[in-house]
A and B are shown apart, each in its own frame.
Chain A
Amino acid sequence: AQTVTQSQPEMSVQEAETVTLSCTYDTSESDYYLFWYKQPPSRQMILVIRQEAYKQQNATENRFSVNFQKAAKSFSLKISDSQLGDAAMYFCAYSNSGGGADGLTFGKGTHLIIQP
């Protein structure tokens, strides 16, 4: 079974600074997908960024980028120029390539605090 580990229960960063959230995973698959989701107090999970394991290039979405290290099974999220609206729970998630039947496997999350 796949597992996702987020070792930082909480992180704090000054507004406009850069912060990196860590995620490691375990799988025996060679083709899979990795995601970072943001969950604000509204509870709705919002997709921040996704990475396909067969792509070597790290995904980027505006201020959000990932450092995908396939051999190390590491998938960290970097948030540049942090904004107050970035404050939320962030979840790392894994999906195999075979379709939705197994759903997403989530880590336990990192609570990100933005200091004004």
Chain B
Amino acid sequence: GAGVSQSPSNKVTEKGKDVELRCDPISGHTALYWYRQSLGQGLEFLIYFQGNSAPDKSGLPSDRFSAERTGGSVSTLTIQRTQQEDSAVYLCASSLTGAPREAEAFFGQGTRLTVV
């Protein structure tokens, strides 16, 4: 696609429900990133994929969070048993490679998650 696409744009869910956020990166980009932006805060790095592999999952806030990437393309971020503190904008970015020297990260417009 022309840019990084995220869906849904907005999601309201009840506390305790599971949610799945989707990121469709720019075609050909091997690196994919998830960030969380809480109200009035900067972006918090969650996880990085190189191809389908995530070498380090320690940035995920809790074991209720999981992420996967299939076919080196689409990625999903799943939050189980959502809590109110999970309310935030979740941003996805992709780049041609994972090396900052070579590639600019392009961001999607994010998913605004509200847990009520």
Contacts and interface: CB of A to CB of B under 8 A. Distances in A.
A104 interface: yes
Contacts of A108: 40-42
Nearest to A9: B40
Given A47-B105, A107-B42, A101 B110 contact: no
B69 to A, nearest CB: 13
Contacts of B93: 45
Chain A interface residue number, banded: 20 to 34
A103 B33 contact: yes
A107 B44 CA distance: 10
A97 B91 contact: no
A99 B41 contact: no
A52 B101 contact: yes
Contacts, number: 70
Contacts of A91: 42-43
A102 B104 CA distance: 15
Contact of A104 (B41, B45, B55): B45
Contact of B48 (A4, A47, A50, A100): A100
B101 A105 contact: no
Contact of A44 (B45, B100, B110): B110
Interface in A78-104: 91, 93, 95-97, 99-104
Nearest to A89: B42
Question: A47, A50, A103 — which one has the most chain B CB atoms within 10 A of its CB?
Answer: A103
B83 interface: no
Contacts of A97: 100-101
Interface of B: 31, 33, 35, 40-46, 48, 50, 55-56, 59, 89, 91, 93, 95, 97-101, 104-105, 107-110, 112
Given A44-B109, A99-B98, A106-B43, 12 more contacts: A6-B42, A45-B91, A47-B105, A93-B43, A100-B33, A100-B50, A100-B97, A100-B98, A100-B100, A102-B48, A103-B46, A109-B42
